[in-house]
C-alpha cells in the first residue's frame, strides 16, 4: 500500500498568483509523487514552473475548508522556491519536479524535496480529526461512489466525531456534512 500524505499544495499560476488546494502526495523512497486529476490548474502550472510547496496543516478545518469553498487561509512566501505555504502549518516541503509521466486522466509528477521545515512538533490526529479527514476525502468522490456507500461511511465516521470531537472538528465536520448532504440524502 502506498503511503499517502494529505497536504495543501501550492503551485504558481501564469499570472503570478498561486493555486492552493488539498492533494495527497505519494511517497516513493526519497521522492514524492504528485498525481492531480485532470482538469487541474496545477498540471499547467507545473509545466510552466516546476516547483510546488506542500504544507502539513494540523487543523483539519483547513483541509475541510478548502474542499467546501473556504479557501481564505493565510499564506506566507516559501523560503527557497518561488511559492507559498500555509502560515499556520506544522511543517512544509518545497519541491522540484524531476520527472513527469503523462496520462490522459492523472499525470504523475515525480518530485524531490529541495527544502523542508518542521515548524512545530507533529502530534498526529486524534480520532475525530482523522474522521474529518476521511469524510473530507469522501466528499471529493461523490460522483464515483454509490450513495449507500457514502451514507455507511459517514455513519461509521460519526462515531469518532460523537466520542471525541472538539469545537474545531465539529465545525469542519459540519462543513463536510453540508457538502455531502447537498448530493446525498444522509
> What digits encode the pLDDT tens for the residues 6-49?
999 999 999 999 999 999 999 999 999 999 999 999 999 999 99
> What digits encode the pLDDT tens for the residues 124-172?
789 999 999 999 999 999 999 999 999 999 999 999 999 999 999 999 9
Cut 0.75: pTM above it: yes
> How much is the average pLDDT of 91-100?
97
Which residues contact residue 31 at a Cβ distance below 8 angstroms, ignoring those fewer than 6 apart?
A: 98, 110, 111, 112, 113
Please give the CATH number for the structural domain made up of 4-118.
2.30.110.10
* Parts of the chain belonging to CATH 2.30.110.10: 4-118
Fill in the DSSP letter of residue 30. T
Amino acid at each position: 500500500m502506498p503511503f499517502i500524505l494529505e497536504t495543501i499544495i501550492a503551485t504558481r499560476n501564469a499570472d503570478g498568483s498561486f493555486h492552493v488546494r488539498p492533494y495527497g502526495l505519494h511517497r516513493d523512497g526519497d521522492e514524492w509523487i504528485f498525481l492531480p486529476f485532470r482538469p487541474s490548474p496545477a498540471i499547467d502550472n507545473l509545466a510552466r514552473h516546476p516547483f510546488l510547496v506542500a504544507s502539513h496543516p494540523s487543523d483539519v478545518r483547513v483541509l475541510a475548508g478548502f474542499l467546501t469553498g473556504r479557501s481564505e487561509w493565510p499564506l506566507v512566501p516559501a523560503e527557497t522556491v518561488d511559492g507559498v505555504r500555509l502560515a499556520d502549518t506544522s511543517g512544509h516541503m518545497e519541491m522540484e519536479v524531476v520527472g513527469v509521466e503523462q496520462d490522459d486522466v492523472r499525470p504523475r509528477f515525480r518530485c524531490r524535496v529541495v527544502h523542508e521545515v518542521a515548524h512545530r512538533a507533529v502530534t498526529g490526529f486524534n480520532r475525530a480529526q482523522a474522521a474529518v479527514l476521511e469524510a473530507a476525502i469522501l466528499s471529493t468522490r461523490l460522483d464515483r461512489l454509490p450513495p449507500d456507500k457514502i451514507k455507511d461511511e459517514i455513519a461509521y465516521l460519526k462515531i469518532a466525531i460523537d466520542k471525541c470531537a472538539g469545537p474545531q472538528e465539529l465545525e469542519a465536520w459540519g462543513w463536510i456534512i453540508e457538502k455531502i448532504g447537498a448530493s446525498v440524502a444522509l
